A = this chain, B = another copy of it.
Amino acid sequence: MTDTKAPDAGRRSERSRRAIYEAALALVAEEGYTRTTIEGIAARAGVGKQTIYRWWPSKSAVLLEAFLDLAEQAAAGEREIPDTGDLATDLKLVLRATVDEMNSPAYDGPARALAAEGVIDPVLGARFVEKLLDPQLELYATRLRSAEEAGQVRAGTDLRIALELLVGPLTHRWLLRTLPLTHAYADTVVDYALNGLAPRG
């Protein structure tokens, strides 16, 4: 009996975990972070409150993990920025994908809620940066390092600041909703960052 029960329990756990993630993301997108509660997540996921507390210490822990899980699914194996040898093409590909993600309601809702909460709450903000943002930014640093070695980025460039010239404008437009985020915009940001605003001699 226990031999057949164990895999069932595992499947049930996995199903519950996924239901909890989905409920958490939906609630934070619909209600905002502040009004999302462990009780609400449990009710929507069809699990007991205790199931959630057994696995996570707090609401922000559930949400951050739900979001990490979403990001992992979205990435679907392609965790690296491609390296075709053509830096501009590779960066445009990844910035266009970022634009698509920012324009997708399934991502925008929870990501926006989590980012806004991180803007206010330094503890959540630090976890958001450490767990979610920094690993993404590191992919840019890796690609830029390879470009530097190939002579496509000026030697001695501070690659951390360099990558902020790429992601900073997109994040500004996304979070503050100033103007539409399009592929053409992503392409122009890459061209300007690589070639500079000043005329080349």
Contact = CB atoms under 8 A, between A and B. Distances in A.
A151 B112 contact: no
Contact of A189 (B157, B161, B171): B161
A188 interface: yes
B197 A200 contact: no
A101 to B, nearest CB: 16
A26 interface: no
Contacts of A195: 196, 198
A112 to B, nearest CB: 6
How many chain copies?
2
Contact of A162 (B167, B170, B172, B192): B192
Interface string A185-201: 10011001111111111
A61 interface: no
Residue among A118, A157, A197, A198 with the highest chain B CB neighbour number at 10 A: A197
Interface residues of A, number: 57
Nearest to A172: B168
A194 to B, nearest CB: 5
A149 B168 CA distance: 27
Interface in A64-91: 87
A162 B169 CA distance: 9
Nearest to A117: B116
Given A118-B177, A164-B172, 4 more contacts: A87-B198, A161-B185, A165-B192, A200-B201
